[in-house]
Amino acid sequence: MSRSTTGADGELSAAARYQVDRETLDSLRLHDIPENSVDADILIGELGDIGKGTGPAALIALADLLRKDPRVALIGLTTSIHNLHAHRGFAKAGFRISRQYDPNGLGQCHLMILLLRSDEPTVLRDAPR
């Protein structure tokens, strides 16, 4: 596990990331997600900081960093199906909704992914955008 901090327009955001192993992915029934994919969590300061581009900037910086590691095929993040602010911010960073699922009883969420490699399995490339 590692943590990185990124600033955008002088504001602080933090993206925690860790590579996901096959056992964890299988326990969530995410069998088509490649092992060593990165699960990203992003935290943005105060409520007033939302909507200023901090989140997308941090995720773009994280993606740029991870593209240098050939073992990392994609970045995924999970958010509530009702969190429209997050959906818009993640989409600005290039993420798309891959599916809806219930991760360990947290309620209905969207798995949003950003493919980092063009050689990903067809099932991921062809998922609805």
The pLDDT profile of the chain, 129 residues, written as one tens digit per residue, is 444 444 445 444 555 567 788 888 888 888 888 888 898 888 776 666 677 777 888 889 889 989 999 989 999 999 999 999 889 999 999 999 999 988 877 899 999 999 998 765 544 544 443
123 vs 19, 21, 120, CA distance in Å? Answer: 21, 19, 8
Distance, in Å, from the CA atom of 95 to the CA atom of 87, rounded to the nearest integer, reads: 9
* Domains of the chain listed by start with CATH number: 2-122 (3.40.630.30)
Q: Contact, 79 vs 110, CB < 8 A?
A: yes
Distance, in Å, from the CA atom of 67 to the CA atom of 79, rounded to the nearest integer, reads: 23
